[in-house]
Amino acid sequence: MQLDSSFSKVFSLEGKIGLITGGGSGIGFDIAKCMIQAGAKIVITGRREDPLKEAVNELGANAHYVVNDVTDLTATEGLVEKIETTIGPVDILVNNAGINMKKPALEVTNDDFNRIIQTNLTSVFALTRAVASKMMNRKSGSIIMISSMAAYYGIDRVVAYAASKSGVEGMVKVLASEFSPHNIRVNAIAPGFIETNMMKTAMNSDPDRMNRALRRTPMGHFGKPSDIGWAAVFLSSESSAYITGASLPVDGGNSIGF
Ligand code: NDP
């Protein structure tokens, strides 16, 4: 067998355009950074302009931003149209924007519940539908949903969050099946404990909680946002060309250690 000297090309995102929701900070920012390093052009979104501006300054010339609240469903199709006409066709969509809320189930109001579902699930479907309809014309695309271990395990006080992420996991399988004939792959990444603002808020800087989380993590340390970034590069590159409908845990072994 001849060894292929173009090994790095299978991980390359050269010539691709990626749209990452919630890309101004945390995991989304590192997904953008990793994808740019792999050769892609990136558009990040978020609700606030200042962090997006700062992020794009740091990410360089291949990064762009659009201010957009994913829960504004009347703006979804316009967002995709704007990106495709000003920057180019979206080859990769990463549904990353998300919110959490820790409360005992009986204290969660209907409004609380709906807010989490709207942000983490309904908006994910709306944007995916808008982007996938364009990808279908081009017969090519990769869609990645950022899920969570909360979809798999009963973690106390995250009832709405767990419901939203379980919904995402179900959606991945249906969409992967429906979109496969159009050469569009749909996968999830299920992060474990990743050091971001969301994790800090969830742990409330409480050393006991941090230690409990670490004890549940066989690798013995929390993940970095770039750990998710490189997994996203893999799932959007040619190196994962035959993977669809999968959920990839990136969790230091949480999913075997619970
Ligand atoms: P952060 O809170 O650090 O970042 C969330 C990002 O989403 C921010 O950039 C925020 O920007 C954006 N965002 C939130 N709401 C909206 C909205 N309505 N419209 C547009 N953008 C929005 O969280 P993480 O980086 O930790 O989380 C990213 C994803 O990873 C989430 O889906 C989360 O559920 C998932 N995850 C994280 C884990 C962790 O341990 N950190 C574990 C498992 C899953 P802005 O506020 O400016 O809009």
Please enumerate in sequence order all residues whose Cβ is within 8 A of that of 45, keeping only pairs 6 or more positions apart, or say none: 19, 20, 21, 22, 23, 24, 52, 65, 66, 67, 68, 70, 79, 97
Percent of the chain residues past pLDDT 90, beyond the cut = 93
CATH number where 102 lies: 3.40.50.720
Q: Which residue owns the Cα nearest ligand 1 atom 8?
A: 22
Whether the per-residue pLDDT at 258 is higher than 70: the answer is: no
Domain assignment present for 102: yes
Q: Is 152 a catalytic residue?
A: no
Domains in the chain, number: 1
Domain assignment present for 63: yes
Q: Hey, what's the torsion of the CAs at 107, 71, 42, 23, to 10 degrees?
A: -30
Kindly give the distance from the C-alpha atom of residue 2 to the centroid of ligand 1, in angstroms, as a whole number.
44
What is the C-alpha to C-alpha distance for residues 199 and 192, in angstroms, rounded to an integer? 10
Kindly give the distance from the C-alpha atom of residue 65 to the centroid of ligand 1, in angstroms, as a whole number.
16
Domain assignment present for 118: yes
Domain assignment present for 222: yes
Ligand 1 atom nearest to CA at 191 = 43
Whether the per-residue pLDDT at 209 is higher than 60: the answer is: yes
pLDDT attached to residue 98: 98
Ligand 1 atom nearest to CA at 193 = 40
Ligand 1 atom nearest to CA at 48 = 47
What is the C-alpha to C-alpha distance for residues 61 and 88, in angstroms, rounded to an integer? 15
Q: Which residues line ligand 1 at a C-beta cut-off of 6 Å?
A: 21-22, 24-28, 45-48, 51, 69-71, 96-99, 119, 146, 148, 191, 193-194, 196-199
pLDDT band at 10 (very low <50, low <70, confident <90, very high): confident
User: What mean pLDDT comes out for the span 213-227?
Assistant: 96
Q: What is the pLDDT of residues 22-65, one digit of tens each?
A: 999 999 999 999 999 999 999 999 999 999 999 999 999 999 99
pLDDT band at 205 (very low <50, low <70, confident <90, very high): confident
Q: Is the ipTM of this complex over 0.90?
A: yes
Among residues 152, 153, 161, 242, the one annotated as catalytic is: 161
pLDDT attached to residue 146: 98
CA dihedral sign, ordered 148, 84, 69, 112: negative
pLDDT band at 74 (very low <50, low <70, confident <90, very high): very high
Domain assignment present for 129: yes
pLDDT attached to residue 4: 63
* 216 Rama class: left (phi>0) / alpha (psi -120 to 50) / beta: alpha
CA 257 from chain center: how many Å?
23
Kindly give the distance from the C-alpha atom of residue 20 to the centroid of ligand 1, in angstroms, as a whole number.
11
Domain assignment present for 4: no
Domain that includes residue 150, residue range: 12-257
Instruction: Point out the least confidently predicted range of 97-101, 106-110, 207-211.
Output: 207-211
Mean pLDDT taken over the chain: 96
Residue 29 · residue 54 · CB < 8 Å: no
Whether the per-residue pLDDT at 1 is higher than 60: the answer is: no
Domain assignment present for 84: yes
Q: Which residue owns the Cα nearest ligand 1 atom 23?
A: 198
Q: What is the pLDDT of residues 107-157, one digit of tens each?
A: 999 999 999 999 999 999 999 999 999 999 999 999 999 999 999 999 999
Kindly give the distance from the C-alpha atom of residue 196 to the centroid of ligand 1, in angstroms, as a whole number.
9
What is the C-alpha to C-alpha distance for residues 80 and 98, in angstroms, rounded to an integer? 19
